[in-house]
Amino acid sequence: MAAFEYIALSPRGKEEKGVLEADSSRQVRQILRDRGLSPLEVKVTREEKQARGGLRDWFTPSLSVRELALITRQLSTLIAAGLPVEETVLAVSRQTENPRTQRMLLSVRSNGREHV
């Protein structure tokens, strides 16, 4: 599964953005329709990262120290409780309020699945 960023309209016309994990953009669109949303844009998150590319992405901090500490503590607690790493990353991604952090965690999860 890959992580997909989406932009959709609610029944009231409000624009909603988020990240979903699915096998294809078509599946994401169906999930959004099932939720009563009208999809406007759906794209794979990893492609955006690859398009930017370059070494500067590896050296640019993407998380604040506070957010990194929180995520690390959450991951540690769930792994210590016996949850598999894949499920742990998914659970933490669902708990975060920061869309950028959510995209990062889902991207890490989908990249990890490819290498197993």
**Partners of residue 4 on adjacent β-strands:** 20, 44
Closest CA to 28 of 102, 47, 38: 38
- Asked if pLDDT for residue 115 goes beyond 70, the answer is no
pTM: 0.51
pLDDT in tens, 73-94: 999 999 999 999 989 999 999 8
pLDDT value of position 112 = 66
Give the chain's domains with CATH numbers. 2-52 (3.10.20), 61-114 (1.20.81.30)
pLDDT given for residue 39 in this prediction: 93
| Model pLDDT for residues 47-56, shown as the tens digit of each residue | 445 544 555 5
Q: Are 62 and 100 in contact (CB under 8 A)?
A: yes
